[in-house]
Structures are given as C-alpha cells and as structure tokens.
Amino acid sequence: MSVVEVPPTGVGSSEQALSRQEVRERCVSIMELLLPHRRAADLDTDIPATAFDEQLRQLAAFVSTGEPILFTLPGFPCKSPNPAKVLGHLPDEGERLSLRFLDQLCVAVKDVYEPGARMLICSDGHVFADLISVPDEHVDAYSDELVAMIAKEELSHLGTFDLRDVYGDMSYQDKRTRLADGYHATEDDLRAETLTNPDTMRLYLGITRFLVDDTAEFSGTKSALQRQCRARAYGVIQRSRAWGELIARRFPRQVRLSIHPQPRGSIKFGIRLLQIKDVWTTPWHSAVLKHGDGEWELMRKTDAERHGRLVLHDGRPSHFEAA
C-alpha cells in the first residue's frame, strides 16, 4: 500500500504564482539535480538540463501550480533468483543505500523549489515474477520488507505502489493477465520494433542478458537457455510497458523515472540509484561491497565475498566490507 500522498490538484500555498520564465528556471534547476545521476542510453552524456524538453514539461505541470512534484519510479521488484549474485530474497544494504539516495534527492529538490517532491516506487516484481522464475511469496516478502525499511529509516519522501494496490485479492496470475490485456502491442509488434529501433534493441539485449545471468539451474544447453531467455525478454518488455501505462493512467501528472538507460527525448528519465560503472547493474541483481575508503560498489555476491567479510544487519546478511 502506498505511503506517499499524491499532490492535490490546485495551486500550492507555499509558492506565489510564477511567471513562465520563473517556472522554466525552477524546472531547469531541478533537472540539474537529476543530471549527475542520469542512466543514459546514448554516448553523449554532456547534455545541458535545458535540452530535456519532455522532463521540463512534466516538471512544469507541478511547478506552474506550486505543488509538490511527484516522481514515479518502476523498479525494486525482487531479488535475483541466482544465489551467486545476491545475498538472499530480501532487501539488503543495496536497497537501503538506494532508498536513502532517492529520499535525499527529494530533499535536495526542496532547496531549489520550496514545495519539494515525493517519490513513488512502483514495485514491479509481481508484474513478471513468473517470467523471471521468482515465487510470488518472495516478491511479497521483498515488498513488505521494503516498506518496513522506508519506515525504519524515516524516509518520509518515499512511498510504494504495486499490483496489490490495483487488483486487490485477485490471484497474481489473474492480475498479470488483467494487466497484459490492457496493453495492446503483441510480441510480434515488439519483435518488429526491436529490429527497427536501436533503443528497444538495447533494452531487449540487456534484459536477455539478465535473464540468462539470473538462471541458477538449467538442464539444457547454453544455446537452448539463450533461446528461452530471448523469448521471455519480449514478455518482460511487454508487461513492463503495460505496467508503465497503468501507472500513467493512475497518476496522470508525474515525472517519470526509469532504472533502465534512456535516450534524451524519452518520456522517461533514466536514473542511477548508486554511482556504478555498469549502467545496467541494480541492487536487486547484486551485492554491495564497502571499500576501505568508504566507497560502495555493486557486484556479484561471489565476487564481493572474495574481497571482503560478510556484515550482518539486524541478524541478516547485509553487505561485505573490504579487509
């Protein structure tokens, strides 16, 4: 259940009416806070905030009325089912650091725009749990622990939203069917788009790579596994888009973020949760290693345990610390 309040419609009381130029200046200032954390799908990373017309438009819908900004971020689905990559099926230090970053980002917005911002984490684990071989009960446990972590850390700018908030007590398979029925692009449509759109091709290849890497046990050949994962990747993209459309309908005004790399001009802005070299790595596909200088790094669990000792938090595996 969401623990964030969606900004109401109407002019906010904490900001006087702004001119068009003032609205644009505030929006550009907010974009400048996001840019250092951009997860880009293009090679040109030296792009000014003024060049992100779609995001500036989304921000202006709030700034022009003096309301708190609503960021939406599909992600935080569940842990990878591959025990070589993660510490378990519950959130750990990787999620904790990422949640703190998102909350601090909202705090930083308030420094340049007084009404501030809220972040709604639209957890999509149940959307494709069957496609990524994760039990729905593991997704529930992950999501519930995420809510508990937000409360314990007092991250007051964050909230959560998932399929349970949409379809109630319906079975998860029925929820997935209901969601997919609302999205009309077929897998054949996606296959055709992948062949003609470089950004879709990058997304398809990235998801396929993750599906292969997340597979812990497979009795067939490597080529058979790759064929299976390529087929499942189209399903993941299809349902992810259906989830995005549902979020857009539920929250007509929002600033849309993504944990996937995004090109400039996209309706979504790709954002890194932690400062990492690989633009695809996320806390739910890895473990965290804390270096001696205090820097954090995401990597496979099997790699992290070679470089450091395991640290527990509240009695559960949390991260590794370098010797």
CATH number of the domain that residue 323 is part of:
3.30.60.140
Amino acid at 262: Q
The rounded distance, in Å, linking the Cα atoms of 103 and 66 is 20
**Same domain as 265, residue 136:** yes
Distance between CA atoms of 69 and 253, rounded to whole angstroms? 9
**Does residue 145 sit in the same domain as residue 294?**
no
- In this structure, what is the dihedral angle of CA atoms 179, 181, 185, 191, given to the nearest 10 degrees? 80
Question: Do 300 and 158 sit in the same domain of this protein?
Answer: no
Q: Which two tokens stand for residue 158?
A: 């964050």
Q: How many CB atoms lie within 10 A of CB 191?
A: 13
Give me Rg for the CA atoms of the chain. Answer: 20
For the chain, give the longest Cα–Cα distance: 65
Q: Nearest 5°: phi and psi at 245? A: -70, -40
Please, what is the average pLDDT of the chain?
90
Q: Could you report the per-residue pLDDT of 74-96, keeping only the tens digit for each?
A: 999 999 999 999 999 999 999 99
DSSP state of 126: T
Q: HSE-up of 33 (CA within 13 Å, CB side)?
A: 21
222-250 vs 187-196: helix axis angle to the nearest 10? 100
Instruction: Give the predicted TM-score (pTM) of the model.
Output: 0.89
- 293 and 170 in a common domain: no
How many domains, the chain? 2
**Whether residue 307 sits in one domain with residue 169:** no
Residue 228 belongs to a domain:
no
The closest of 278, 267, 213 to 244, measured between CA atoms, is 267
Neighbours of 153 (CB within 10 A): 13
Percent of the chain residues topping a pLDDT of 70: 92
Neighbours of 276 (CB within 10 A): 17
Regarding whether 270 and 307 lie in a shared domain, the answer is no
> Which residues form the domain of 295?
286-323
Kindly state whether residue 155 falls inside one of the protein's structural domains.
Answer: yes
pLDDT, tens digit, 9 for 90 and up, residues 27-48: 999 999 999 999 887 766 689 9
The pLDDT tens digits of the residues spanning 248-259 come to 999 999 999 999
